[in-house]
Structure 1
Amino acid sequence: MTVRRFHVEGIVQGVGFRPFVYRTAAELGLDGWVANINGHVEGEVAGPARAIEEFATRLRSTAPALARVRGVHLSDGARQSTYDRGFRVRHSAPGHAGTASREIPPDAAICDACLGELRDPRDRRYRYPFINCTDCGPRATIIEDLPYDRIRTTMRRFPLCPACAAEYADPGDRRFHAEPVACPACGPRLAWEELRGEDALRAAVKTVDTGGIVALKGLGGYQLVCAAGDPAAVAELRRRKGRPAKPFAVMVPDVRTAARLAQIGATEQRALTSPERPVVLLARHRWRGTTPPLAPEVHPGLTRVGLFLPTTGLHHLLLDELARPLVVTSGNLSDEPIAVDDAEATRTLASVADGFLTHDRPIRSRYDDSVVQFTGRTRITIRRARGLAPAPLPLDVRQPVAGAGAQLKHTFTLAADGRAHIGPHTGDLADLPTYEAFTASYDHLRQLTGIEPIALAHDLHPGYLSTQWAETQQLRRIPVQHHHAHVAACAAEHGVRGPFLGVAYDGLGLGDDGTLWGGEILVATLSGYRRVGRFATAPLPGGDAAVRHPSRTALGHLLGAEALGSARPYPWLTRPFTDGLEPAEVAAVRVMIARDVNCPRASSAGRLFDTVAALLGLCHRAGYEGEAAVLLQAAAGDEHAVPLAHRVVREQGLWVYDPVPTLVDLLARQLDGESPTRLAAAFHLTLAIVTAELVARAVAEGAPRTVCLGGGCFVNRRLLTEVKRRLHAQGLRVLVGGQVPVGDGGISYGQAAVAAARLAGEG
Structure 2
Amino acid sequence: MTSRERASLEIDGIVQGVGFRPFVYRLALRFGLSGWVRNTGKGVQIEAEGDGDNLLAFSHALREEAPPLAVIGALRFEKIEPAGDEGFVILDSAKAGKGGEISPDCEVCDDCLAELFDPDNRRYLYPFINCTNCGPRYSIITGIPYDRPATTMAGFAMCDDCLAEYHDPLNRRFHAQPNACPVCGPRLSLFDREGVAVTGDPLRQTIEALKDGAIVAVKGVGGYHLAVDACSETAVGLLRRRKKRDEKPFAMLAADLDAVRRYVQCSDLEGRLLAGVERPIVLMRRLPQTPVAELVAPGNGWFGFMLPGNPLQHLLARGFGGPLVMTSGNLSDEPIAYRDDEALRMLSGIADLFLANDREIHTRTDDSVIRLYRGEPLFLRRSRGYVPRALALPGEQASVLALGAELKATLCLTRGAQGFLSQHIGDLKNAATMASLEESAGHLQRLLEITPDVVAHDLHPDYLSTVYGQELGLPCVAVQHHHAHMASCMAENGLDGDVIGVILDGTGYGSDGTIWGGEFLVGGYGDFGRHGHFAQLRMPGGDAAVKEPFRMALSALHRLHGDQLFRQPLAVCAEVQEADRPLFLKMLEKGINAPLTSSCGRLFDAVSALLSVRHRISYEGQAAIELEALAEAGSASEPYPYLVTGEAGGVLDFGPAIAAICADIAAGRSRADIARGLHRTVAAGIVDVCGRIRTASGLDRVVLSGGVFQNRLLTEDVADQLTAEEFRVYCHRLVPPNDGGLALGQAVIAGRIFRRK
Give TM class, smaller chain. Answer: over 0.9
Residue in 2 that maps onto 1:609: 604
Residue in 2 that maps onto 1:32: 35
Matches of 1:130 and 1:197, distance apart in 2: 21
- Secondary structure in 1 aligned to 2:398? coil
Residue in 1 that maps onto 2:118: 120
Task: List per-residue Cα deviations over 1:658-700 (Å, max 9, x = no partner).
Answer: 1211111111101111122121111111111111111111112
Letter in 1 for 2:11: V
Change (3 A) 1:223 1:476: same
Residue in 1 that maps onto 2:240: 238
- Secondary structure in 2 aligned to 1:739? coil
Residue in 1 that maps onto 2:337: 339
Contact 1:552 1:589 survives alignment (8 Å): no
Residue in 2 that maps onto 1:91: 92
How far does residue 170 in structure 1 lie from its aligned partner after superposition?
Answer: 1.5
1:528 aligns with 2:527: yes
Change (3 A) 1:587 1:312: farther
Residue in 2 that maps onto 1:626: 621
- Secondary structure in 2 aligned to 1:741? coil
Contact 2:649 2:690 survives alignment (8 Å): no
Contact 1:36 1:91 survives alignment (8 Å): yes
Percent identity between the two aligned chains = 42
Out of 374-383 and 189-198, give the one that drifted further. Answer: 189-198
Change (3 A) 1:672 1:159: same
Contact 1:100 1:417 survives alignment (8 Å): no
- Secondary structure in 2 aligned to 1:144? coil
Runs of at least 5 residues in structure 1 that lack an aligned partner in the other structure: none
Contact 1:28 1:55 survives alignment (8 Å): yes
- Secondary structure in 1 aligned to 2:183? coil
Following superposition of structure 1 onto structure 2, how do residues 52-451 of structure 1 map, counting pairs within 5 Å?
Answer: 52-77=55-80, 80=83, 85-95=86-96, 99-193=97-191, 199-287=201-289, 292-395=290-393, 396-451=395-450
Matches of 2:165 and 2:564, distance apart in 1: 75
Contact 1:190 1:359 survives alignment (8 Å): yes
Change (3 A) 1:48 1:586: farther
How far does residue 147 in structure 1 lie from its aligned partner after superposition?
Answer: 0.6
How far does residue 355 in structure 1 lie from its aligned partner after superposition?
Answer: 0.3
Residue in 2 that maps onto 1:680: 675
Matches of 1:121 and 1:196, distance apart in 2: 26
How far does residue 439 in structure 1 lie from its aligned partner after superposition?
Answer: 0.4
Contact 1:276 1:388 survives alignment (8 Å): yes
Task: List per-residue Cα deviations over 1:188-207 (Å, max 9, x = no partner).
Answer: 10001376897011111111
Residue in 2 that maps onto 1:650: 645
How far does residue 629 in structure 1 lie from its aligned partner after superposition?
Answer: 0.8
Residue in 2 that maps onto 1:16: 19
Letter in 2 for 1:68: V
Task: List per-residue Cα deviations over 1:691-745 (Å, max 9, x = no partner).
Answer: 1111111112224111100000000010011111100100111111101111000
Task: List per-residue Cα deviations over 1:455-476 (Å, max 9, x = no partner).
Answer: 1111111121111111111111
Matches of 1:570 and 1:196, distance apart in 2: 62
Out of 357-366 and 455-464, give the one that drifted further. Answer: 455-464
Out of 539-548 and 308-317, give the one that drifted further. Answer: 539-548
Matches of 1:160 and 1:122, distance apart in 2: 21
Normalised to the residue count of structure 1, the TM-score between the two structures is 0.96
Task: List per-residue Cα deviations over 1:249-304 (Å, max 9, x = no partner).
Answer: 011111111112111112211111100010001111111xxxx3211111111101
Runs of at least 5 residues in structure 2 that lack an aligned partner in the other structure: none
How far does residue 572 in structure 1 lie from its aligned partner after superposition?
Answer: 5.0
- Secondary structure in 2 aligned to 1:131? coil
How far does residue 101 in structure 1 lie from its aligned partner after superposition?
Answer: 2.3
1:728 aligns with 2:730: no
Contact 1:189 1:197 survives alignment (8 Å): no
Contact 1:573 1:671 survives alignment (8 Å): no
Change (3 A) 1:582 1:118: farther
- Secondary structure in 2 aligned to 1:701? helix
Contact 1:400 1:455 survives alignment (8 Å): yes
Matches of 1:398 and 1:601, distance apart in 2: 37
Task: List per-residue Cα deviations over 1:382-414 (Å, max 9, x = no partner).
Answer: 101100111111012332112110100000000
Letter in 1 for 2:13: G
Matches of 1:316 and 1:459, distance apart in 2: 41
How far does residue 336 in structure 1 lie from its aligned partner after superposition?
Answer: 0.6
Matches of 2:118 and 2:579, distance apart in 1: 67
How far does residue 50 in structure 1 lie from its aligned partner after superposition?
Answer: 2.1
Contact 1:555 1:589 survives alignment (8 Å): no
- Secondary structure in 2 aligned to 1:21? helix
Letter in 1 for 2:370: V
Change (3 A) 1:586 1:285: farther
Contact 2:378 2:734 survives alignment (8 Å): yes
Change (3 A) 1:490 1:585: farther
Matches of 1:78 and 1:429, distance apart in 2: 56
**Number of matched pairs:** 749
Matches of 1:567 and 1:666, distance apart in 2: 18
Contact 1:397 1:757 survives alignment (8 Å): no
How far does residue 128 in structure 1 lie from its aligned partner after superposition?
Answer: 0.5
RMSD, matched Cα: 1.7
How far does residue 575 in structure 1 lie from its aligned partner after superposition?
Answer: 4.3
Contact 1:569 1:664 survives alignment (8 Å): no
